[in-house]
Structure 1
Amino acid sequence: MPGPDAEGRTTVTVQRELAAQEVSDRLAIRELIDAYAHCADRRDAAGQMALFTEDTHFVVFMDATSDQPSQELHRRDELAPVFGNLNSYDTTTHFNGQSTIEVDGPRATGESYCLAHHLSISASGERTLMIASIRYLDTLAKQADGNWLFAERKLMVDWTETRRTTP
């Protein structure tokens, strides 16, 4: 886990040995993170919603530096309009980057990075690409069946860029 050493320099500790269960949990969590992006790009709102606990807490910060969220939801069934909003784009592509996960039995926390590309095409054929640099701050819960779900997901938009593109 990254952190400062005694002289203030950032250091990284790499775990050399992990128990088989933790390896399995970490892989399952990474697959959960990737499934979220896959469902988003396929416009599978129902599939995306199924990745969350019933009493999930989903918080959107369109400006990651703000103390106040842009949107806050408290149940899985409230997520449909958020995920449905992706239908306003002609296509999206979410590239997942690094993630840091801490597993503690049936709970886990983590941070993962994503570059989300949102393509819009106007009626006149003008193409606009909006790219968002996103960090997700997650709390995850292992279910009785062994599957991991998002118990809380904070979507933090660090920056966006919008530009015209050519076909």
Structure 2
Amino acid sequence: MTRHTEITPTEAADRLAIRELVEAYAYCADRRDAAGQMALFTADTHFVVFMDAKDPTPSQELHSRAALAPVFDALNQYDATMHFVGQSTITALSADRAEGVAYTLAHHLTVKDGQRKLMIATLRYGDSFAKTDGAWLFSERKLYVDWIEERTL
């Protein structure tokens, strides 16, 4: 962890903007705003999913903002979701690039024949960010699923 005795207003603004970007991703997911969620990524983004965080081989790998549409559209299979963003740490920051890690508890509710089921995924994201035209965007997002819990409610 970096020790900050003093940071510039620009660095503070960048750190806040990146945190808001991470939170906007969850907000858009829960509102099924796929277009808004896709807009948080660079056009040439790299999105990688590891359904088993211990397996170094990705389950899915996408190479553009446009390729994200079916991933975000898949959330429509749930009656409701709630993505709770826990800690979000910026591990490196320059004027136009940054790296970070974010932790999320993703709650997915389904209701079928009056039966409610909840799937909770514990997620970690390894993020790379790029500042483009003054706005921070995801340039790479690696999603690691640490474990999944399923419950009948």
Q: Does TM-score exceed 0.5, indicating one fold?
A: yes
**1:149 Cα deviation after fit:** 0.3
Among 104, 111, 114, the alignment partner of 2:104 is 114
**How far apart, CA to CA, are the structure 2 residues paired with 1:61 and 1:90?**
24
Q: Which runs of 5+ in 1 are unaligned?
A: 2-12
- The structure 1 residue matched to 2:4, chosen from 10, 15, 35, is 15
Q: How many residues align?
A: 152
User: Which amino acid in structure 2 is aligned with residue 73 of structure 1?
Assistant: L
1:8-43 deviation digits (Å, cap 9, x = unpaired): xxxxx5423111110000000000000000000000
Report 1:17-166 matches (<5 A): 17-101=6-90, 102-122=92-112, 124-144=113-133, 146-165=134-153
Which residue is 1:8 aligned to?
none
Q: Which of structures 1 and 2 has the larger relative contact order (alpha carbons within 8 angstroms, sep 6+)?
A: 2
**Structure 1 residue identity aligned to 2:14:** D
**4+ long deviations beyond 3 Å:** none
Tell me the SS of whatever aligns to 2:45.
Answer: strand
What RMSD over aligned residues (CA atoms) do the two structures have, in Å? 0.8
- Structure 2 portions without partners, runs of 5+: none
- Alpha-carbon distance in 2 for matches of 1:114, 1:127: 22
Q: Structure 1 CA distance, aligned partners of 2:131 and 2:70?
A: 26
Q: Letter of the aligned partner of 1:108 in structure 2?
A: A
Question: In 2, distance between residues paired with 1:158 and 1:51?
Answer: 24
Normalization by structure 2: what TM-score? 0.97
CA–CA separation in structure 2 for the residues paired with 1:31 and 1:135: 17
Aligned twin of 1:9: none
